[in-house]
Amino acid sequence: MNLCRTILCSRSLALLALGFASLAGAGEVSAQVEDSLSSLQGQVLSRSRAEPVERAFVLLLVNGTGAMTDHEGRFVIQDVRPILDTVQIQYFGFTPAETTIQLEPGRVTNAVFLLSQSVLEVAELKVEIRRTMSGKMRGFEERRRKGFGYFITPEQIEHRQPQRSTDMLRGVPGVTVGASQALGPAPVHFRGGSTSRCEPKLYLDGQPMSQMAFDDITAGDLMAIEIYKGATEMPAQWATGACGLLVVWTKDGSTRNLKP
């Protein structure tokens, strides 16, 4: 009997040790995955005065993601693939800047970017804006004709004259907009679906903005809005694991659509 108990005890200890080894192995795999990703952070300054540029768009073209600068011109883009990527900085009134940067696995890359003021003539600028708007609205109307999603047109935005961008989402079926905050943007959620509360992913002029709120977009810059409240509604070019999408098109074309 004592021998049996000894054998059972030995087996239990062996199984327990195996369980700990499995947990340790899983932790190592998770750490390896986390260590394989990279991050980019830094600051955008004007070249002439070395002053921070607020609300500039910092895009990683190869990774296909980006962020917007804060009042100090700072930004953070986390958890991206460690590759040789192209950084594009865009801000209305400034010449877009591009440079390549090597993102290292498991490291945070710090960088400072300088923007030069645009010297384009007014007539040339108007022509460029008209072309950008035409291209955006052509894709917008094509998707609207297919009957999937909810669309807010330039005419509706012009008629409503919103003070904040989220004003255009109030009253949209299935969309909940929280109370406006004096020091921050109003939260936006979708109702229904597999979860009772869905936080939609935001696309601005065709680019994903993971660290940007809807109210960070100036209401006067709004041109059109597309709302997709589930995977079955999403266009193929923006199909992701997100529970919903908010696709915003702006008048000035401060970011370009890389996926026509």
Mean pLDDT, the chain, rounded, equals 77
Handedness of CA 245, 251, 255, 259 (dihedral sign): positive
The model's confidence at residue 84, banded by pLDDT at 50, 70 and 90, is very high
C-alpha 31: how far from chain center: 25
Q: Judge contact between 230 and 242, C-beta under 8 A.
A: no
Distance from C-alpha of 104 to C-alpha of 36, rounded to nearest angstrom: 8
The model's confidence at residue 139, banded by pLDDT at 50, 70 and 90, is confident
Least confident of 10-24, 80-94, 201-215, 229-243: 10-24
In the predicted structure, residue 212 carries a pLDDT above the cut 50: yes
The conformation of residue 258, written as its DSSP 8-state character, comes to S
Distance from C-alpha of 47 to C-alpha of 135, rounded to nearest angstrom: 31
| Sequence letter at residue 27 | G
Q: Domain segments of the chain: what residues?
A: 1-31, 37-115, 122-250
Short-list 230, 257, 259, CA closest to 245: 230
Q: Judge contact between 111 and 42, C-beta under 8 A.
A: yes
Give kind and range of the element (H or E) at residue 151.
strand 150-152
In the predicted structure, residue 159 carries a pLDDT above the cut 50: yes
The conformation of residue 64, written as its DSSP 8-state character, comes to T
Distance from C-alpha of 205 to C-alpha of 226, rounded to nearest angstrom: 11
Q: So what CATH class is 122-250?
A: mainly beta
pTM of the model: 0.50
CATH number of 37-115: 2.60.40.1120
Q: What one-character-per-residue DSSP string does 71-124 give?
A: TTSEEEEEEE--SEEEEEEE-TTB--EEEEEEPPTT-EEEEEEEEPBP---HHH
